[in-house]
Amino acid sequence: MAIRRYFAMTAAEIRSNPLLPPGTAWMACHFSPYGTGLSNLPRELPPDSLLILNDRTPIHGHDPERIAGQLADVVTSLGCWGVLLDFQRPGVEETAALVAHLAQALPCPVAVSDWYAREQSCPVFLSPVPLDVALGDYLAPWQGREVWLDLALDGEIITLTEDGASATPLLPGTVLEGGLREETLHCHYQIALSDSEAAFSLWRTAEDLESLLAEGENLGVTTAVGLYQELHGHITQR
């Protein structure tokens, strides 16, 4: 089965785009800073969209039953395909309890970021695959689990000196062209040599992401999610 692909869009991007792409993902939903429920729930979405809930506002004091009811209403009324719990605040007991509740209560697939996935049987949402790690190695700790994968056209520079290796991310917006293709890591690279160091610039192109997903289909990846502003026009929807 082909990997589902979603473009994560802000509320403003969705409202200003009259022709939404297939695989729309609403990424603006969060815990209310004023009450015990959710803020910024969508009123309209194309069928089979993905609803993303983040924890940029701490969960403290929110009611899991109310949150589950709000999400279920939106999923049912708008025909959403699934819910992604993109929680990035680790070690919060209330969040762990909410994840367990939503995984059972919602009438659709539910995935959660790896901070909270180990105690659950629902799909796990993983950060973009590091450029210097093979996909199989990256997914190995989650063997047997369904994986939703974050996609990004990231890049990094690995510098080798007599003192060892160090890695720094490429600045956002950096555009590199040419280079050599690395099939195992699904990336491109360039090498710059000097008397004191060797610098490897690694980055992924749209072609690299396609080959990454092709391998991922056989390793438990069922869904891919990336930012609309970064990937639209680079990744085809299926």
pLDDT (0 to 100) of residue 235: 67
Domains of the chain by residue range: 4-153+205-231, 155-203
Residues of the chain short of pLDDT 70, as ranges, are: 1, 172-173, 234-238
pTM over 0.85: yes
Radius of gyration of the chain (CA): 19
pLDDT (0 to 100) of residue 211: 96
44-78: per-residue pLDDT in tens? 999 999 999 999 999 988 999 999 999 999 999 99
E strand map for the chain? 4-9, 24-31, 38-39, 50-54, 82-86, 110-113, 124-126, 147-151, 155-161, 164-169, 180-182, 187-193, 198-203, 221-227
pLDDT (0 to 100) of residue 171: 79
A 10 A CB-CB count for 208 gives: 20
pLDDT (0 to 100) of residue 236: 67
Report the CATH fold assignment for 4-153+205-231. TIM Barrel (3.20.20)
